[in-house]
């Protein structure tokens, strides 16, 4: 498998992008910002299409659009945690803009109708050149280092913003900084592996780690490990089964981790409830 250069490139870029996504994803889940991450991945899609429509470098459009929208969301939102209705409204408009740029782009280059959109949406991790892969890995490592540098205060302010504020932590600046870092991860992941894989690697490993352990640093490490394991297994599987795209395989495995963790948590809470409370309060803590 490693005899092929494209597989080596895919593993190089995939490993570091997945690690960055997994670590960022744990914070995203802890802060209930999966929707914001999803929106940013679509912003990246629209930004790339805009760049393609205007004819400038796609990477430029991706990064500029994503970071700008992330900073805007952070600044507009209350306490740098934008509420989901506001995200939804911005998001709907971003999708409309995507439709506009796609139509301009498709009209300009009538041969390549829609294929660029497909590539940006679903990525082509197996089509990375050596330079692309090294650049993706470098950006992912830089984002990861920045995340780890602010990890301690960020964890604190994610868990209890009030106490963190009273201790003098810059909660709002941390929130905005985190959204901008998330934007960098989202833009890089969209460029290298596609918007689809990004969402899967943000939500599923972080969600699984949240369910598996209450200890924060363990959770952070576990989330990164699950993301990397998913992409390795996904790449290996899609190498064996030609019809299976690597992003579908990776998402499938990451979702498997999440469902497994949810089942374990569900079984655990049933057992605890039976042991501690023979006549449980019917349905307390169930859904709305």
Q: Which residues bind another protein (CB under 8 A)?
A: 28-35, 37-38, 84-93, 95-100, 102-104, 106-107, 113-115, 117-118, 122, 159, 196, 199-200, 202-204, 206-207, 210-211, 243-245, 247-248, 250-252, 254-255, 258, 262, 283, 285-288
Collapsing DSSP states into helix, strand and coil, what is residue 286?
coil
HSE, CB side, 13 Å, CA atoms: give it for residue 280.
Answer: 13
| Beta carbon nearer to another protein, 114 or 130 | 114
32 vs 130, beta carbon nearer another protein: 32
Phi, psi of 33 (to 5 degrees): -115, 25
- Residue 246 CB-half CA count within 13 A: 21
For another protein, give the closer residue by CB, 12 or 95. 95
Nearer to another protein, 100 or 142 (CB): 100
Query: Closest distance between another protein and the C-beta of residue 63, in Å?
Result: 22
Indicate the helix (H) or strand (E) that contains 70: helix 58-76
C-alpha closest to that of 10 among 182, 246, 274: 246
**Residues 190, 148, 75: CA angle, nearest 5 degrees:** 65
CB of 118 to another protein, least distance (A): 6
CB of 13 to another protein, least distance (A): 18
Structure tokens at 34: 């999966």
Q: In the complex, what is the shortest distance from the CB of residue 279 to another protein, in angstroms, rounded to a whole number?
A: 17
- Closer residue to another protein (CB): 142 or 248: 248
């Amino acid at each position: 498998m490693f005899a092929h250069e494209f597989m080596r490139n895919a593993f190089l870029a995939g490993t570091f992008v997945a690690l960055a996504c997994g670590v960022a994803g744990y914070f995203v889940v802890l802060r209930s910002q999966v929707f914001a991450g999803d929106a940013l991945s679509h912003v990246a899609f629209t930004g790339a299409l805009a760049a393609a429509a205007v004819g400038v470098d796609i990477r430029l459009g991706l990064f500029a659009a994503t970071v700008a929208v992330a900073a805007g969301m952070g600044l507009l939102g209350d306490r740098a945690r934008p509420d989901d209705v506001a995200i939804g409204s911005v998001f709907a408009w971003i999708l409309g803009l995507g439709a506009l740029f796609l139509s301009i782009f498709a009209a300009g280059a009538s041969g390549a109708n829609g294929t660029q959109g497909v590539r940006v949406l679903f990525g082509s991790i197996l089509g990375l050149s050596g330079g692309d892969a090294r650049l993706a890995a470098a950006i992912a490592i830089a984002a990861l280092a920045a995340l780890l540098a602010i990890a301690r205060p960020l964890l604190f302010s994610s868990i209890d913003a009030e106490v963190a504020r009273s201790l003098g932590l810059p909660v709002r600046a941390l929130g905005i900084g985190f959204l901008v870092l998330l934007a960098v991860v989202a833009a890089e992941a969209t460029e290298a592996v596609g918007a689809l894989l990004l969402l899967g690697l943000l939500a599923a490993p972080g969600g699984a780690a949240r369910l598996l352990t209450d200890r924060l640093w363990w959770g952070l490490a576990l989330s990164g490990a699950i993301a990397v394991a998913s992409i390795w297994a996904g790449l290996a599987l899609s190498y064996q089964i030609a019809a299976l795209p690597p992003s579908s395989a990776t998402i499938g495995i990451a979702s498997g981790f999440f469902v497994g963790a949810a089942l374990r948590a569900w079984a655990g809470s049933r057992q605890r409830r039976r042991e501690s409370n023979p006549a449980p309060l019917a349905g307390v803590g169930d859904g709305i």
